[in-house]
Structure 1
Amino acid sequence: MTMSDQPTPSAILDGVDLRALAASLSTPFYAYSAGAIRARVQGLQRALDGLDARLCFAVKANSNIGVLHLMAGLGVGADIVSAGELWRARQAGIAASDIVFSGVGKSADEIAAALDAGIWKFNLESADELALLQDIAYGRGVVASAAVRVNPDVDARTHAKISTGRAENKFGVDIDEARGWFANAGRSPNVRLDGLHAHIGSQILELAPFEQAIARVAAFWRELREAGHRIDSIDLGGGLGVCYRAGHDRPIDPDDYVAVLRRELHDFDGRIVLEPGRYLVAEAGVLVTRVLRVKHGRGRDFLVLDAAMNDLQRPALYDAWHDIHVVQDASAPLQCYDVVGPVCETGDTFARDRVLPRCAAGDLVLIGGAGAYGASMSSNYNSRPLLAEVLLDAGRYAVVRRRQSFAQMIANEQLPTAWSEA
């Protein structure tokens, strides 16, 4: 149910005509196919059939509660990295017992909130965090279940800004340090170290880095088992890549990925946890936008859209490619454009030298692969209101976030009429 690489006059996604929807809602907005999300979730669940496995959706990829509610209905838990994501997941109906808490910078208040909620597991990333969790759990008279995030020092062969499994990255601890945590586990009686966790990066399109990382984690687990440490869960994070560029990106088949799990962890009798984010939602979403104008510059033409870098930051942050489709007659002559937004930054560019059908003001444009790290990373830069988000499902649609008004955008701001002294 993802968009074709070719322009289409009807632009049907999950049975909904996006041209008609754009006439009703006004652009720009995000549209997500519930059917495509279900297909991804169920495909991964089928690949895992026969394993004691839990899927925990990486909420950071798409934190809309409508999307999270869909995940809950499919039996998917949540991988969170903040108290805000915990709150969203619970509001969407995801059970606390299906939530894992990751991230290098958990605050004392966030740890306390997660303990009070009764989440399943903390993924610990530093000795300081282990000590803090021990202190807070002791104060509440509870025992927290935790996994040690090990850094396997594996090159994920992805963009440097989304690589997380190298020794120089900020994430996790090396295996030598983790070994010491288990040896001294008795010093933290309110933290039950019963899990291992590893996540080497995002948008990974080769199987080899996964094979290397999983083998290292499996070897460490066997070492711990021989030393008498009981490990109930091994969390292998996410990272499965998606197709952003038709005919170029070749994602890993989930059956091939799970075959690695089955081989490397064939004798593991605990639960295997996966934290897919992008893989479940990226290709299910499009950013629906319109051409404001075509600007003819010296040596190049600019296609100026009503969407901007504050709405979809990936191209500006990572030089990321997104397929772009113009909704018009496919017989229109082709032309080369720089596709840009109206924000006052040269970085507000979605694509350079992109060959598209010749465009005019008012043409509808679809930016593909926008279901992950689109709306969740958006901002009010240039005082632009946050976009609407719409969930599509078999010919129906539901607005799952209304477009922000100007009044809502400044609702928490105030004039300095009351002054205080610190």
Structure 2
Amino acid sequence: MDIRHERFSAASRSGLRYGDAALRLEDVSLEDVAASVATPFYCYSSASIRSAYERLSQALAPVGASICFAVKANGNLSVLSLLAELGSGMDIVSGGELERTLAAGAPAAGIVFSGVGKKRGEIRDALKAGIHQINVESAAELDAIADVARELGLRAPVAFRYNPDVDAGTHTKISTGRKDDKFGMSGEEILDAYARAATLPELDVVGLAVHIGSQLLDLEPFRQAYTHLANLVMTLRGRGLSVTRLDLGGGIGISYDGGPAPDVEDYGAIVSATLGGIGCALTVEPGRWLVGPAGVLVTEVLYLKEAGETPTVIVDAAMNDLMRPALYGSLHAALPVRQNEVCGDRPVRIAGPVCESSDIFGTYAGLPALSAGDLLAFTCTGAYGASMASTYNARALVPEVLVEGNRFRVIRRRQETAELLVLEEPTQWQIAGLAAEGRAVR
């Protein structure tokens, strides 16, 4: 489905502006970056990330809530290091993200391990590292955590993820708090599991967690979920069980099209009103809100096609670089990297070169007339852009660049196909049944 979109001025949070007719991120011309790095590439503003973190910290200061960045949004080591230096903890969902956060210098004591499918090896590594807590998603997972902790001779700090059956009002593919979603446990399940876990010496039962979805533009579902959470806390305490920590998840939405978006100050007020006096240490886990507006994906126009009613602009970025439009029907605003006040007279469809009909970024009105060689920047791509990228069609993983003031540096180089071919070099054949014993044959 085509998405119509009017040209808009870049939001101040992104750090984007025009200077000397060139689109700049902070004080760096994206044309200069393109000349050095080649398109397509991601580019992030460090100032935007710092500003977002400080603003959210201030909004949560009245309740003393700590912040754990959702690493799945953007796992680049330099981005993680920047946030760790600001004091952010990390919310991870895999063993690979544990390795990344530790490599970035994030303290293990500030890491929360979420996710519905933790493998025993991942649990083992997390406990050995000494992370802050593991969020339990099912009774079966609780047993696995207890088994691993017992084997290691350690106590595992655990919080139970509560599914409050609240519709977040967001895209169904990123809703996580409805009763039929795969995430979390019902209140009744938690009452039983919490009491059982409290009797196990290898478990340190610390509290509850909740996360109802991503990209929430309406804050009311947060109020509903946190009210349910507060009621569950009181029920557990009424049964003589200790609850000292609450993990409130993430999900605060951002504006992709220049329209209204939630104020984190209003979000902070909801946290304070629902949970401020409950006597628990509070943690929030934003991802998109902290880094989404900080990033752009810069691409070059390759060809123009006059096919059908709407002209098609073929660019060198594709759905493997930015999955959100193909996966969710999302639209990222497109800005010309070279300013031109003369708008084109017709909407244009922007498409990538991947061999899929879904490789469409959207239909845009208000862009200037485009020619081969022109550069465009898709905005608000700092979250779920590079982190979801793939090498489909044997396309290279694009580089990532970090801007700070008037300087920039590559923080992930382009991963070319030749490097990936090394992973597919021939290995020794193994005979089934012998492989389990570690015996390989030629």
Q: C-alpha separation between the residues in 2 aligned to 1:183 and 1:67?
A: 39
Partner of 1:367: 378
Equivalent residue, structure 1, for 2:217: 205
Conserved 8 A contact 2:65-2:282:
yes
Matched, 1:102 2:114: yes
Aligned partners of 1:127, 1:378: CA distance in 2, in Å? 33
For residues 173 and 12 of structure 1, the distance between their equivalents in structure 2, rounded to whole angstroms, comes to 46
- The two structures have a TM-score, normalised by structure 1, of 0.96
- The answer to whether 1:356 aligns with 2:376 is no
Q: Write the mapping of 1:389-400 to structure 2, written as runs, cut at 5 A.
A: 389-400=400-411
Q: 2:315 aligns with which of 305, 314, 318?
A: 305
Q: Deviations over 1:160-179 (max 9, x none)?
A: 00000000100000001101
Q: Is the 8 A contact 1:325 1:365 kept in 2?
A: yes
Determine whether 1:401 maps to 2:422.
no
Match of 2:282 in 1: 272
Distance 1:3 1:45, change over 3 A: closer
Shift of residue 299, structure 1, vs aligned partner: 1.8
Instruction: Report how far residue 191 of structure 1 moved.
Output: 1.3
Evaluate the alpha carbon distance shift between residue 53 and residue 3 of structure 1 in structure 2; reply closer, same or farther with a 3 A threshold.
closer
Corresponding residue of 1:255:
265
Conserved 8 A contact 2:67-2:285: yes
Give 1:318's match in structure 2, choosing from 319, 322, 328. Answer: 328
Deviations 1:172-192 (A, max 9, x none): 000011011122234432112
Moved more, 266-275 or 372-381: 266-275
**Which amino acid letter does the alignment assign opposite residue 100 of structure 2?**
R
Which consecutive segments of 4 or more residues in structure 1 shift more than 3 A? 3-8
Say if 1:339 and 1:354, in contact at 8 Å, map to a contact too: no
Q: How many residues align?
A: 419
| Matched residue, 1:15 | 27
- Structure 1 unaligned segments of length 5 or more: list them: none
Contact 2:248–2:284 under 8 Å retained in 1:
yes
**Could you tell me whether the CA contact under 8 Å between 2:303 and 2:371 is conserved in 1?**
yes
1:193 aligned to which of 197, 205, 220: 205
Percent of residue pairs identical: 45
Q: For the residues of structure 2 that align with 1:202 and 1:8, how far apart are their CA atoms?
A: 37
Give per-residue Cα distances to partners, 1:191-215, cap 9 Å, x unaligned: 1221100000000001110110010
CA contact (8 A) 2:73 2:287 kept: yes
Contact 1:291 1:306 in 2 (8 A): yes
**Distance 1:330-1:131 versus aligned 2 partners, 3 A rule:** same
User: Which residue in the other structure is 2:99 paired with?
Assistant: 87
Which residue identity lines up with residue 325 of structure 2 in the other structure? Answer: P
Contact 1:3–1:13 (8 Å) recurs in 2: yes
Structure 2 unpaired stretches of 5+: 1-12, 433-442
Cα distance change on mapping 1:186 and 1:147 into 2, 3 Å: closer
C-alpha deviation, 1:265, in angstroms: 1.4
Alignment deviations for residues 14-64 of structure 1 (CA, whole Å, 9 cap, x no partner): 111111111111111000000000000000011112433211000000000
| 1:165 to 2:173 alignment | no
- Give the deviation of 1:219 after TM superposition: 1.1
Aligned to 1:345: 356
CA distance in 2 between counterparts of 1:359 and 1:341 reads: 15
Q: Which moved more, 1:1-10 or 1:215-224?
A: 1-10
Is 2:352–2:359's contact at 8 Å kept on the other side of the alignment?
yes
The Cα of 1:267 is off from its aligned counterpart by: 2.0
Q: 1:228 aligns with which of 232, 240, 256?
A: 240
Which position in structure 2 is the counterpart of 1:36?
Answer: 48
SS in 2 for 1:391: strand
1-structure distance, mates of 2:250, 2:122:
23
**Matches of 2:316 and 2:200, distance apart in 1:** 54
CA apart distance, 1:330: 2.1
2:336 is the counterpart of 1:331: no
Letter matched to residue 194 of structure 1: V
Opposite residue 420 of structure 1, the aligned amino acid is Q
User: Is residue 7–residue 330 contact of structure 1 (8 Å, CA) maintained in 2?
Assistant: no
Distance (Å, rounded) in 2 between the aligned partners of 1:138 and 1:8: 64
The SS at the match of 1:11 is strand
Q: Deviations over 1:220-250 (max 9, x none)?
A: 111222222111110010000001111x3x2
C-alpha distance in 1 between matches for 2:71 and 2:58: 22
1:64 aligned to 76, 101, 119, which one?
Answer: 76
Quote how far apart the aligned CAs of 1:93 are: 0.6
Query: Equivalent of 1:78, from 90, 94, 98?
Result: 90
Instruction: Give secondary structure in 2 for the equivalent of 1:31.
Output: strand
Give me the whole-angstrom Cα distance separating, in 2, the residues matched to 1:6 and 1:398: 21
Q: C-alpha distance in 1, partners of 2:184/2:198?
A: 21
Distance 1:339 1:299, change over 3 A: same
Please report how far the alpha carbon of residue 270 of structure 1 lies from its aligned counterpart in structure 2 after TM superposition: 2.3
Q: What is the TM-score when the length of structure 2 is the normalising length?
A: 0.92
